[in-house]
Structure 1
Amino acid sequence: MYRKLLPAAILCSGAAYLIAMAAENLLLRWILKPGTMLLIIALALTAVPFSCVYRRLMLAGLGFSVVGDALLLLPGNQWFALGVGSFLIAHVFYILALLTRRRPTLARLLSLLPIIAYGVGLLTGLHDGMFASPGNGSLWIPIVVYVAVISVMVWAAVLSGSRNAAIGSILFFLSDSLLAWNKFVTPMAWAGYGVMVTYYLAQYLMAQSVEATRPIPSSVRVAGSR
């Protein structure tokens, strides 16, 4: 019963966070930003899982995302770098989870090509912007590594055959792209809202991917829990 209320609670909490952003209320942002993620974690926890291993790995990724959320609320490049590092770990856990359900086909394997093209185009644009501003150049290597890892995550999501995971990972990449572009290349007044809308949708879909799409025989559930 309570799980049915979670999507509405996540929507309300996420919308409230956007309002807190507009009002520049830092206290509410500290409460609602991780709070929305905790509701998303509850969604994954209460799902009938595709597999227990998959859920554990996804929960680890969601947990590191909460840490990253908090770090990105702090000012300064050092906190930004730590936040990127936390999300990097989250993506590694997502990749490990998604690889447990990989279902490769030729089309899915070839999807790596447009993913690489997008990543290279993003890094090309970020390079000039980052090195044009003193102090940002030191973040170049972490950003390159991050883009490479999230590209692998998107590919792993496509290979998994999970629609929720594939769309969620793409939205995650778009959210992070907008965040980086706004910070290092061209500041945009609406960017913060775009980042958070795509981010919450991404994490919601990643959590939803835990849910089994069809009934799982009890013998399989027992085996998966060991």
Structure 2
Amino acid sequence: MKNRSPLTITISLAILAATSLPIVAQQSKRYPTENQLQQLMNQFRNFVDSPPEGSRGFYLRDTRNAAQSQKLIAFVRAWLPVNPDVVPFLGQWTALEETMNIYPSTIKGQVCIIETFIPPSDEIGISFAKGTISGKHIRTSERTILVLKGNYLGVAFINTSNDRPGIYEYAWPKPLRNLAELMRGIPQVDRNRFLQQFKEAGCTESLPKQR
């Protein structure tokens, strides 16, 4: 997880974003412990069962149209025989300021994660990570743990500024974005690096090849 700049649309939304988003100056140095993960899972379940109203109300409403839902379902079904454990996580997940795009890999139990966000002035607004299935969760190369409940995705992490656990919520997965579109506007050197990492991890934005 990266630092996020508060939204500037309204003062109230900026305050909410600043107080609710994970404040992680660097990549986490460790994963949450099992006890911490269980506590975060309970917090996540409570969020899913009763999402907050107000400016975070989009968590309550599924804004996907029928075509988007059908496209994602078809993509997931195609990958089910190839990489079954990862398919519940696939898609573009949305939060307040960012998206998390989870792509399948031809290597069983693995995924690629491309996150877009509003960057601090010294960063680009995109990051890459690899993920590996661990039980019912995904452990990422950024030392976060991805958990699922229905149409909600939780990202469990350790805040590097105070070593405390936290969880951040995404919702309503949509079809994956085209890589070229996703990386539009970032420097060529960064684009090449992400694409190389993506390729080396066996990841793809396409349907699996017919056997």
Structure 1 length-normalised TM: 0.29
Larger Cα-atom Rg: 1
Which structure has greater helix proportion? 1
**Greater strand fraction, Structure 1 or Structure 2:** 2
